[in-house]
Chain A
Amino acid sequence: MNRLNARGRAEAPEFTTDITRDTPPAVGAFGIIRGCTRLNPWAMKIVTGVIGNDIHVVANRLMDLSLNARGYEVFNLGVNTYLEEFFDASVETGADVLLISSLNGEAEGWSRDVKPLKAKYKNLDDLVMMIGGNLTVGSGNATDIIPRYQNYGFDLVCHQVDLNTGLDMLEDYLREHKPS
């Protein structure tokens, strides 16, 4: 994740924190292009944060900056966030995407509760669920990890994937599944 964020920062000179939510980003701004005409991230709300007892705040801050730069309306819950808070924040904000990140690997323990907990909410059926970062303790490969997390209830799983690559995957997914 460190490598991922360090690269993300270095490769994204267009990152900015002074985007105001009243003004959409200019056409061609970082992440909005890629030949997409229908996807409008500006109108999309995304809840993000670091799950569990994980305090890796730098990665979380980089994620926040990247998402803002791509034009999403970001609700960053920060570090040390519990699963209930993620879902509750999604309800309160009417979020389109829930993006959970983890660095210390404890995501797996929490993710086992995703399906039963989400089932208790009556209005989260359309919520796109994404998780990324370092998703296992010790070594593991994406071939094993991704299906496991998909089985936990995530639509998109990024294990040790570059930040920008992961966010590109999200855009592709949204373009395909939420065209309007």
Chain B
Amino acid sequence: MKQANDKLLIDIGSTYFKLCTPTSIEQHFRDFNKRILDDLNHKCGDTVARFSQNDIHICSSANGGLSTLIIGLTQSYSLKYATNIAYNAGINIIESIVFQDIKTYSIPSDVIDAVIIVGGIDSNGGVFDERLDEYLAKLNYSNAVFVGNASDAETLTGRLDKLTVLPNIIDNRLHIVEAHLKEYLTNLYQQDIEGKQDIKHLYDITGNQIYSTPYVVNRSLPLIHTSFAVTDPFILLDIGGATTDVHYSKDLVSDNIVTQQGHDRIVFKKLGVYKSRQSLVFTAEQNEFAYELLMHLMVTENIYHEHSEKATKILMQLAIFLVLCNMSHYQPSTVSLKLLAMNSIVFTGGITKVLGTDDIEDVVAFFYRKILNSEHKPATVLDKNYDIWTLGAKEHAACL
């Protein structure tokens, strides 16, 4: 096996792309008037040409990744397990539906890349009735996968088109079984990339599978202590142009999920400072404490409409605050983390190019004071040189 050091690692983001060679890391702002491959060849063609196809490894978070809708029996088991697996496979979740209330949910207008249906242990069949068929008939989706009880798997196969059946993700002791669904979703992401005009051309320069960036980053987390002074439990915030990814130690959640990995991931799809700027501003306007944060930072709400270096900086600080709010008891989203137990907070991505440690610590301290009423101060660690991504990509490439 070749050493990962002999390889070229490329990350395609929604705003920037990065290249890591054995000797350097370079980052380029994307030219949206060009195809990604053309842009890449134009800006760093010499670097790419130095490596053979098999030594080039690419990951991408561009286009926001796959979208999924999950239909499950309960919040505490089927939906939670499927959500956990989907996020860890790098998939974004559009909607989670509790089956008994399915008629009360509106139908998403967007095309859903994958619908995940889950519920019941294998000995509990007959839980998905015709309401499921009716809902799916109205939904615009590309793939559907059933990972629920065995007896419904048989009946649903005959009733629904495009249905893939995989083993149940809930075993007979109500524990999670993640391998099959995770592999399916990872492969689906791969197929999606191959189908996307802009990304599929990248296969001209690589002989390896293109993975989702969050999937690669997640692999680096068990090794993060080798590069950074990080104390468990920690969270890793990757605030990008379109989305914000959060990877967190499992110790920060009170969960009934027992998995092999020590870190999970959630994504806030419309929380970024470039492509998702408008939705970030909208979210900030809905948050009653955002105004106080702006006052604390000595700016007014007019900053939302400015396009300046200062405005970008403020928006990034707002993004940190909003993400922390979304993971706290104040505005619980998918998960609610025990943020008072957190010892380190690690930042990676574009945010580290704009904000300094002081700027970040100021916002984090504001959050703890205002929302959690605490003087707790987790250590702030900045990954300014994309070492975390490099670590994960090298680890991933070395394993292939």
Interface residues of A (CB under 8 A from B): 45, 73, 75, 77, 80, 84-85, 87-89, 91-94, 121-123
Contact = CB atoms under 8 A, between A and B. Distances in A.
B74 A92 contact: yes
Interface of B: 73-78, 100, 119-121, 123-124, 127, 170, 173-174, 254, 256
Contacts of B254: 80
Given A75-B173, A88-B77, A94-B127, 4 more contacts: A85-B76, A85-B256, A93-B124, A121-B100
Contacts of B75: 84, 88
Nearest to A121: B100
B123 A94 contact: yes
Contacts of B127: 94
Contact of B74 (A45, A73, A80, A88): A88
B121 A92 contact: yes
Nearest to A75: B174
Contacts of A87: 74
Contacts of B174: 75, 77, 89, 92-93
28 contacts: A73-B123, A75-B173, A77-B256, A80-B254, A85-B256, A87-B74, A88-B75, A89-B74, A89-B76, A89-B77, A89-B174, A91-B73, A91-B74, A92-B73, A92-B74, A92-B77, A92-B78, A92-B119, A92-B121, A92-B170, A93-B120, A93-B123, A93-B124, A94-B121, A94-B123, A94-B127, A121-B100, A122-B100
B76 A94 contact: no
Contacts of A84: 75-76
A93 B121 contact: yes
A89 B123 CA distance: 13
Closest 8 CB pairs of A and B: A88-B74, A94-B124, A88-B76, A85-B76, A122-B100, A92-B77, A91-B74, A93-B121
Contacts of B124: 92-94
Nearest to A95: B124
Contacts of A80: 254
B333 to A, nearest CB: 17
A123 B100 contact: yes
Nearest to B79: A88
Nearest to B80: A88
A84 B77 CA distance: 10
A80 B77 CA distance: 16
A93 B78 CA distance: 11
